[in-house]
Structure 1
Amino acid sequence: MKLNYIPLKKCPLLELNMASACVAEEEVYREVLTCPICLCLLTNPKVTSCMHTVCCGCLDKWINQKAKQVQKVCPCPVCRVDFKVPKGGANALKGNYILNDMLDALRKKLEKMADNIEQYCDICVLHDNKVQATSKCIDCDQFICDSCTRTHQSIRAVKGHKVIPITGDDQKDTRATLEMFPKRSKFCESHPDEPLKFYCTSCCEVLCRDCCITTHSGHKCEDLTHNVKGDMKNIGSLIEMAVQREANVKNAIEEMNEYKEIMENNAVAVKAAINATRKAQHDLIDKHYNNQVTEVEKLKHDTMKKVDVHIDSLELQNGITLSTKHLLEMQQQFGHPAQIISIRQELNSKTKEWSQPLELEFEPRIKIIFNDGKTTESGLNFGSVMPLEKTLNKFVRIEKNPFAMVGTMCSFELLENGDIVSAHLEGGINITDHITHEQKHHVKMRCIRLTTQGNNTIAVDRDTGTIKQLDEKGNFEREVDCIKPSDHCVAAGLDGKLIATHGKGQVSHIDVNTNTLISTHKIKDDGNVPNISITSRSETVISYFELNIVEKYSKNGDLLFTYNGQQGEYGLKTPTGVCVDPFDRIIVASSDNNTVHLLDSKGKFIKLLVTPKDNIIDPQDVAMDKQNRLIVGTYQGKLHYVNYMAN
């Protein structure tokens, strides 16, 4: 009976182009067949319960050095997971026979032995005849000449052995040998002429035909190839899990590297703010602000160190997963059913382990915040650095007694000094003191969309469709006219950057300082004026009134995500104002169902910050103040302060 192995050609390692794959194949084989302790090719390989393979001698030395004598366990030299040390030490562990066989077949190639050494027939050499070998018997592991090959194939006892020709091409011969691995026969120790073809489910042993008839008579015996199908399926599932784990870890590492970049940019921006304030207050406060710079560096250094530790942990997990995946692939491609069944318990254990979700998230993340120093008639208030944690409050707290502005409101933003600038269409633009809540200045301009940079207001004039820059008192300074009207909405970014929607479904990135256009790309057009915001990475966040969606675009115009709300009564209904918090989380007001949604930077819903039970009617716009509170403004002109971050 022939055994049904998975054909070797299905192995992804061997589907590569023959010319380009040789080096990659050799490196994979070398990795799998190399001892992780001595870093040489394996000698008498032994398998731990966590499925890692080590030289028997190396593992014995490791056990003697690392074993915990009381518990009789030892940490694995690869993954550091404890395994039980059997009586007899490493020698009593299961041998990795498939790797042994592969070592025999590949040792010449991996040890870079000379290719021009003539190979003689192993049988003729026994009779002192040096006849060049032309074939190799995989089952006997012997090189044979033409004459011995014919004899070999005519003897009944060895007639079924797998014999392959020797071409002289080391690469082809190695590949041919490996391709025959799954097809070779394994013979019974008790009946050397009988191949192992059956599995006794009563004794959990692999048997030959004679064993079934004699020592296992009356037991339930199944066809070996049928019984091993479950194990082969398990190996396939584990390999798929390894691929997914590898992808998840890789994504987490990429995210951590992105966070490092954000952290670096964040630290640079904060240090610039510190230096600007220090210059205004002169040498008297140099010592204080030097200390603040040091604190930023310390916070950055400590955070980066934690991030690097997390990345190292993720890379270690990934390395362990890849190592195990390669071993599983070798078992899948070249393992004999008898060998695979012998590790069934380990396969089940690994499946259970890998079924648990990976801990990939890095917490707590922080952002460095600089609270500006103030110069007043009574003296100086020093600025200070503080770490802002990404952690959310368990319960959102909405401050009581919101204050109301004059007239209905379309949008609002905050100046650097904390004052609130609001747009009221026919009612113009108001600048309101954030402490006394008294109106300080009024601008006669029909406006529904505005933003702020520092203490400047940048507003869209509804009558002319142009962008105008106002000072902190609302006085006109200049027009931002590097794009043609009609302009609809604006949002301010870092370092004088501005984004504006205009025309039919267009958004432009502008440098306000030089009044120059940086780039323009397409967006959706639902026939209404959208609300927009900008992240620390110059990504555009847009809420579409009619389409009931929120989208984020890269600076180049690539769509990064689309969010259409949650299912049920708290879905996204007529989204209006949108903003980002210090961690680039996205906050969007849903006016028709009186909710405010919090999303992560990738558009995944986190929680509702405002629900209908909070009785905030018709939320129109949202913004963050300098205390990192969320301000929710309603169409009726009421401003509600929402505390959702832990600090």
Structure 2
Amino acid sequence: MDISKSLEPPDAQHYLVCGTEDCEKNCQFYCNDCHQPLCEQCRDEHQKNKKTKNHEVVPYKQRKRKLPVEKCKIHPTKDIDLLCEECQIPLCSKCTATKEHRGHVFTDLEIVFAEKCSLCHVEITKIRSYFEPTSLDLKKEIAGDVTEIKKIMKDIRTSMKAEAESVKKLIDTVTSDKIKHVDKIEQSLSETLSGQNKKIDDYINYLNDLIKTLYSYLSPSDIETLTFALKSENLMIQPIPETFKPVLPVFTAGQYSKEDIAKLLGRLKIPNTKPENRKKKTMDTALKQLKLTGKQMKQNREKADVKQTLSLSSSVTKVREYTVPGVGSVFHISLGKSGTLWVSDDVGNLVQTDLQGKQLQKIQTSGRIEGYHTVTQDGDLIYTDRDNKVINRITPDNTITEFIKTGDWEPLSIHSSHINGDILVGMRKGRESKVTRYNKTGTEIQNIQRDNKGQGLYREPHYITENINGDVCVSDYMDGNCAVVVVDKSGQHRFSYTGQGSEFELYGICTDVLGHILVCDRISNTVHLLDQDGQFLSLLLTEQQGVKYPRSVCVDDENNLWVGQITTNTVKVYKYLQ
């Protein structure tokens, strides 16, 4: 069920029409006495009319709701238009004279109805601004947890199988060693028994020879033979050689249970900790944000009006510059709220300053020359941690928390959408690169990696931004190959820009309110200006405008261009639209 539809006010329509007969102008006002919508002209006439000049005419949103007409059941000719304060019963004016209500206090039912309608609108506002979006945020968070659990459990299964395979290999190795030992024992016993067998064979041969000799003594052919035989020692039989039974090995099978085997492997255990309640923003915060959103909508309308009158100026003018302590160069700029800016150099220093050059905080990161930080719609700074493959968040109270894990992918560049708060991250894994889109709660919703021919779109997306039409614009560079790669919001490749000459090396990139794409070129030390479709318009900034070695660019809410350079910690601001 769509809550927002079910809560649609009963008077919602495309536009409101004045209630005066034959007037079809848009309604802006409302007469609470006549319960009639009025345009501005009819309001003036209504207040000039003698009969209605004392009527209460208010802006339409502040109107009182018309009380439904209902006849009294006791006095059918009378309308129910009062509320008995004591009995809390609606009744007509005639009922007030009955003895049941004698001495009671009565209130105009229309006033009560208006108050109740006002309370209903307050509750509807709470539901729309807090309860419904907070519930939807929790659903998204739960969906993210489901995805993370599936990934974690898959990893655990893979680890278990790998561990089991390792144990199997160890068992095979040990078994093979034991079998070799059995073979050696068998060989040794066989050699011993073979020796004993040879002894017996030799003894049998001796006995056979002795039998022949003794037979010769029985029929002596001469006296000498007889004399030899009569000697007792020649009639003695040698004893049978001693042999021994081998001691045979005994195999005792290992006594292992399923539990013993389980102990050899890793254990899966759920920590005995109390689950944390999911964080919910308070209603006060939501209502403040609602007011802020209203303010932002007004600002957006003003910007849209400004956009219709803006165009490229005939000249570029420097309007101010800022010195950023704590960095040696300016490789990326993120403009914060409340007059602050974040600047990073090429050795991992990330510094926040105010516009007077006062350093507010400084952190050490694993970032280098990429556009690795951005300010969200909520005013938080988020930045990539290449080493740990995560995206961190710094809240206004300077707390650093882990926001998004990128798995096997190394996050390089990042941009928070000014359109819908989505987070775009340029990533790399080995020789593969992609752009991943997350919603503002950190749930992955899109991956952009290949064109419609299956070819990789990116080599190394080291700066990233979004254009006013939702195009994702990437400053892509690796091994001497570079291009501005632009895809539409669905991820389809639109165009690639590779510069105006034979040499072109990209760094910082941004877009402006007119849809221009601005990108730094290291080779020519200029800022290229392209239109929304990738057509080259001009070299917007060169050394003639006081810029040398530009590396980072961004456009502020006043449509000024901020430029950071490699050789200095000074940020220069230029006006190029009029």
Q: Do they fold alike, i.e. is TM over 0.5?
A: no
TM-score by length of 1: 0.39
Q: Which has the larger radius of gyration?
A: 2
